[in-house]
Amino acid sequence: MNVIIQKFGGTSVKSSEMREHAASHVIKAQQDGCKVVVVVSAIGREGDPYATDTLLSLVNKDRSYIGHREKDLLISCGEVISSVIFTELLLSKGIRAAAMTGPQAGFRTNSDHGDARITEMHCEALIDKLKEVDVIVVAGFQGESTDREITTLGRGGSDTSATALGAALQAEWVDIFTDVEGVMTADPRMVEDAAIIDSVTYQEICNLAYQGAKVIHPRAVEIAMQAKIPIRIRSTMMETPGTLITSVTGGAVGADLADRPITGIAHMAGLTQITVKDKDYLNLQANVFKEMAKANISVDFINIQPYAVIYTVPNELADKAVSILEKKGYSPEAVKDCAKVSAVGAGMTGVPGVASSIVAALAAENIQILQSADSHTTIWVLVKGEDLKKAVSALHRMFELSSRSVQK
Ligand code: ADP
Ligand code: MG
């Protein structure tokens, strides 16, 4: 049985016109002789009646009295509705299809409501069903904990649903259909002439995704990488092949990387930079991060200097972080609304001058660098939010990411 997975995101199922496009991809794969397991997200974005944020707004007006358990119950409905509507469309076209919830399809998770991790897949019922029908439409983003509670997998969770099914069913590949033509050298909402990348490695896309390129969830990539299942990121509206994600890029392995020091530019907005200074530096370093961890505040972009620690937190946690530090007797400084821009590339190792070129490109645009760091695959800079678009464009231009063909 040749199985493929096809995942359709919120915008790909938002209207009957879009669902027609989506259905045409499913029908084509089915006619090519594959059994198709479709994963759908909830229909549309906030404002659309059954979108995740709309459902949440039903209970989240001023203050919400329900907890994460009930919120998961509520928002899991969005994907269930979407799966049934899409199944009906397929049936209306004469395709043998059936809908399944995440738990029915076999998703077992831990109990971390709102951001649950998949722990096991029990796909026996789905495999049985696949003997009766040609297409199963699974509600993405959800599962069931060992104590049989409904859980959800966090933002971007349907991507993870898709690759987890791909791994469990040993699918030929996983198609992630979305509103862009593939993985691009930068978010096309930031850089108009961003180029489509024909092929990337799991590692490259994982790095881009962790740095904010939300075209696919990084956890989804890790699952596919472990199971060695190729992913294709494609446009629902078009027939174009999109971006192929495997363990090697197209063309000669190795030769490609030297030509491509930078794969793309990713960004993450909405960060606050916190600086804490104290003469007692040994205690300072230990205390600050212990307190942040105790309060469950995720910290990033940590720079430690002799008498100061500098790091970022999401804007919405900044006030909490500052008040905790003040209670401990520190006088933290906070710069709100910063953004992290990352130049990501597996071929950057040993290529001289990348960091200095970045500094020069930003200086030429009068963009102040608030902080920077680098690893063998990524260079990060923190800039003010108002400089974000200019900074992403400047780096994109500097590395000539739009002009050249990325396919080798
Ligand atoms: P879906 O609902 O289909 O999951 P998302 O909105 O989660 O879609 O992801 C697609 C979006 O990711 C695009 O509309 C684009 O703005 C954004 N994006 C960010 N970085 C990139 C990138 N490097 N390449 C392509 N898209 C990107
Ligand atoms: Mg998404």
For residue 160, how far is its CA from the centre of ligand 2 (angstroms)?
A: 10
Nearest protein Cα to ligand 1, atom 4: 9
Name the β-bridge partners of 48.
Answer: 46
Ligand nearest to the CA of 52: 1
Contact 138, 161 (CB under 8 A): yes
Angstrom distance (rounded) from CA 280 to CA 370? 24
Angstrom distance (rounded) from CA 284 to CA 263? 37
pLDDT digits (tens, 9 = 90+) for 259-309: 677 899 999 999 999 999 998 888 898 899 999 999 999 999 999 988 999
**Mean pLDDT score, 9-32:** 97
Closest of 80, 158, 82 to residue 118, by C-alpha? 158
- The model's pTM is 0.92
Ligand nearest to the CA of 207: 1
Nearest protein Cα to ligand 1, atom 10: 215
Angstrom distance (rounded) from CA 401 to CA 406? 8
In ligand 1, the atom with minimum distance to the C-alpha of 264 is 23
Contact 212, 268 (CB under 8 A): yes
Residue 109's CB is within 10 A of a number of other CB atoms, namely 24
Q: Residues, the chain, total?
A: 408
Assign 407 a pLDDT band (cuts: 50, 70, 90): very low
For residue 280, how far is its CA from the centre of ligand 1 (angstroms)?
A: 45
Q: Look at residue 63 and give its three-state secondary structure.
A: coil
Kindly state the tokens that stand for 264.
């793309």
What's the gap between Cα 326 and its chain centre?
34
Show the ligand 1 pocket: residues with CB < 6 angstroms.
Answer: 9-12, 41, 178-180, 183-184, 186-189, 208, 213-215, 264
pLDDT digits (tens, 9 = 90+) for 138-153: 999 999 999 999 999 9
pLDDT digits (tens, 9 = 90+) for 287-301: 999 999 999 999 999
H-only helix segments in 295-399: 315-327, 354-364, 388-398
